[in-house]
Amino acid sequence: MCYFLLKMADKQIEKAGQCVLPLSRIRTIMKSSPDVGSISHEALFLTGKATEMFVKNLTNISREKSKDKMNVNYKDLAEVVNTDDVLQFLQDIIPRKIKAKDYLDQLEDEEEDSS
What percent helix, strand, coil does the chain show, rounded to 5?
A: 70, 0, 30
pTM over 0.85: no
8 pLDDT higher than 70: no
Architecture of domain 1-72: Orthogonal Bundle (1.10)
SS3 77: helix
Q: How confident is the model at residue 18 (pLDDT cuts 50, 70, 90)?
A: confident
* Residue 1 banded pLDDT, cuts 50, 70, 90: very low
Segments of the chain assigned to CATH 1.10.20? 1-72
- CA–CA separation, 100 and 23 (whole Å): 39
Q: Cα separation of 85 and 115, whole Å? A: 31
Rounded to whole angstroms, the Cα distance separating 39 from 36 reads: 8
